[in-house]
Structure 1
Amino acid sequence: MEWREYIHSDPKILVGKPVVKGTRLSVEFLLGLFAVGWTEQQVLENYPSLTAEALRAVFAFAMVN
């Protein structure tokens, strides 16, 4: 999984927090949803701009950072 294809930081977006490209959804926010019990299906249904691949990239990013 090459997380760099899906995750980036821009000082102009959420003060430079890592986000899924093309969204304002931070890695931190998405991991928080899983931490409180959301499923992958719930996340994808509630945030239709996300893909399953982008969610895998969130976890891959979290592993190396």
Structure 2
Amino acid sequence: MSIVESPISSDPSVMGGAVVFHGTRVPVQTLLDYLDDGFSIETFIEFFPSVRREDAEQFLRLVGRRDS
């Protein structure tokens, strides 16, 4: 069994406690908004290079979403 680090975190001192991608100040909701607006995960990563693609993909799997 392996331990997988969570791709997300929440800290009251970072973005007011919003759920963000671990090690960044990018809210996970931003990725969901991009996908809902028809943008691809590639576009999101271009605009938010501090987010690792692997973390974005893992988050989407956790919430049951596919990248568009």
TM-score by length of 1: 0.76
Unpaired runs of 5+ residues, structure 1, are none
Q: How many residues align structurally? A: 61
Question: Higher RCO, 1 or 2 (CA under 8 Å, sep at least 6)?
Answer: 1
Tell me the TM-score normalised to structure 2 length. 0.73
Report the counterpart of residue 57 of structure 1 in structure 2: 58
For residues 23-52 of structure 1, give each alpha carbon's deviation from its aligned partner in whole angstroms, at most 9, with x where no partner exists.
111111211111101101111111111222
Question: Which of 1 and 2 has greater Rg?
Answer: 2
Q: Percent identity?
A: 28
- 2:26 maps to which residue? 25
Mapped partners of 1:49, 1:35: distance in 2: 21
The aligned residue for residue 49 of structure 2 is 48
| Pairwise CA RMSD | 1.7
Q: Is the 8 A contact 1:7 1:57 kept in 2?
A: no
